[in-house]
Amino acid sequence: MLRLFLSLILAVSFFGSFSAKAETELWGDYSGVTLRVKLIGGGQYEGLYNEVIPWWEENTGGKIEIVTQKNHFELDKEIKKDIASGNLDFCVASNHTSFASQYGDIYTDLNNIMPASVLADYTPLILEHSTVNGRLVQMPRHSDVSNLYYQKSLYEDADNKANFKAKYGYDLTPPETWDQVKDQAIFFSNPPDFYGTQYVGKEEAIAGRFYELVIANGGALFDEDYRPIFNSPAGVEALQWFIDLYNAKAVPDGVLNYLWDDTGLGFASGTIAMNLDWAGWAGFFNDPENSKVAGDIGLVRAPMGSGGLRTGWSGSHSFSMTESCPDKEAAASFLWALTSNKAQMIEARGGLSPTRPAIWDAIIAEKKAEGDEFMLMVFETFKMSLAEDAFTPPLIPEWIEFTNALYPELQAAILGDKSPEDALATASKKATEIMEDAGYF
């Protein structure tokens, strides 16, 4: 630890066209140290590694060996197998607030490793969400919450305005509630050429979307003892929203096989009017090379449910350090580098939401200076929704297993195989078994 603290220096970082607030840096001399790391892969994530790894190696003399680089669900499986085989021969791994609680105590409590001055640079609430059973097991990389993108021209069209008002009795403006989203989605739809909206339709993705709508409707998934309570009026109302859109053909027929790439690419194809999606897609949507809706995109905070709350299913991508890591000081330095001001600014420029307050200020200042009105709108909207609307899923090890029990029932109701009440009753029964087995009651 001594070497780490000796190497801890306070510095002011300058990069780009702005100056961020003083950042506690965590450099050291790690010549001869090689850190084995397992990282989340994919175009959206790998740009960071290309810049930060050489930067860290140059400044510390250490080496990074990437053992694995794959999508998060595959990485999750691999780490579970590593735990079972006791083969935790790596130091740093990508993690996520929704996944972290599954991994028991394989990851180090960073409260004991990271100096308080380093932790002070991160948003306190995000660090709280990164904590499992009182142990800070991950350093947050970027946060995710979803807001509603829409095609602006549809709302500016005089015929659309007049026809919508005549049909629904209120003005056509970007939606404030999920009921309005439903009305507008049905109004805009002209299948199979154009759809009002879409949703991710399987696995944890649809379970998460259902979860946030239940919350927005004033309900909850579990009570304080983790007994399922989503088979409620709020739950049925949430599920009915998905069903109504599917039955009205306001979403594509194949939506139940969609995951994040499908919805993102769908909106970029110009065939979707409104799309609830993450911040990371903003740059892609507004890039004329990738997107047919570039230059025609509006963004509003996620609408409200019947309970008066906005949807705000949120989580953070992160990095963790294994308890078995032989060189924790070097690993701590690398964790810091991966989530430093420099690293977060790189990702923020791509549209991702930083976990350091200083970077929010910096990126907004940079976009103002550049006159980039679109990205300015994106950052201001996401900053507000992360501050006011965001909530995590239950941070329990059973979250993924629970979503696997829930999502086939949601799909069955959407396809009309079951009524919403039957589907939620079955899901509730399965969830009760999972929670009982886990010893919650």
Partner 1 sequence: MRKFLNGPWVLLMPTLIILTCVVLLPLLLSLWTSFTPFKLTKPDTLYRFVGFRNYERLIGDLDFWIAFGRTVLFLAIALNLELVFGLGIALLINKITYGQRTLRTLMMFPMMFSPILVGFQWKYIFNDNIGLMNNFLREFGVIQPIPWLVDGILANVSIMAAEIWSSTSVFAILLLAGLLGIPKDPIEAAKVDGCNSWQVFKNITLPFLMPFVFIAMTIRSLDVARAYDIVQMMTGGGPAKRTELLWTLISRTGYVDAKMGMANAMSYISIFLSIAFTFFFFYKLVEARQRLSYE
Q: By CB under 8 A, name the binding residues for partner 1.
A: 73, 76-77, 80-81, 83-84, 86, 102-104, 191-192, 201-203, 252-254, 256-257, 266, 269, 271, 397, 400-401, 404, 407-409, 411-412, 414-415, 417, 437
Contact at 8 Å (CB) between 127 and 119?
yes
Instruction: Give 316's DSSP letter.
Output: E
Residue 67 or 265: the one with the smaller Cβ distance to partner 1 is 265
Residue 246: CB minimum distance to partner 1, A: 10
Minimum CB distance to partner 1 smaller for 342 or for 430: 430
296: tokens are: 């025609």
Task: Check: CB of residue 333 under 8 Å from CB of residue 6.
Answer: no
Tokens of 405: 């029990």
Least Cβ distance, residue 408 to partner 1 (angstroms): 5
At residue 163, the 3 state secondary structure works out as: helix
Nearest to 206 by CA among 252, 260, 146: 260
Nearest in space to 118 (alpha carbons), one of 345, 334, 378, 263: 334
State in angstroms the smallest separation of the CB of 336 from partner 1: 27
Minimum distance, C-beta of residue 189 to partner 1, in the bound complex (Å): 13
User: Which residue number, 31 or 85, has a Cβ lying nearer to partner 1?
Assistant: 85
Our CB check for partner 1 shows the closer of 16 and 408 to be 408
Q: How far is the CB of 400 from partner 1 (least distance, A)?
A: 6
The least CB distance from residue 242 to partner 1, in Å, is: 12
| Cβ atoms of 274 and 149 closer than 8 Å | yes
Question: CB of 336 within 8 A of CB of 212?
Answer: no
In the complex, least distance from residue 154 CB atom to partner 1, rounded to whole angstroms: 19
Provide the minimum distance between the beta carbon of 53 and partner 1 in the complex, in angstroms, as a whole number.
28
Q: In b/e form, how buried is each residue of 270-287, taking b as 16+ CB within 10 angstroms? A: ebbbbbbbbbbbbbbbbe
Nearest CB to partner 1, comparing residues 83 and 300: 83
* Nearer of residues 201 and 350 to partner 1, judged by Cβ: 201
Please identify, using beta-carbon distances, which residue of 206 and 346 lies nearer to partner 1: 206
64's CB contacts (< 8 A; 6+ apart) are 34, 35, 37, 53, 56, 57, 334
Half-sphere exposure of 106 (CA within 13 A, CB side): 23
Nearer to partner 1, 86 or 134 (CB): 86
Please, where are the H alpha helices in 248-303?
Answer: 260-268, 282-285
Phi and psi angles of residue 344, each rounded to the nearest 5 degrees, phi first? -70, -30
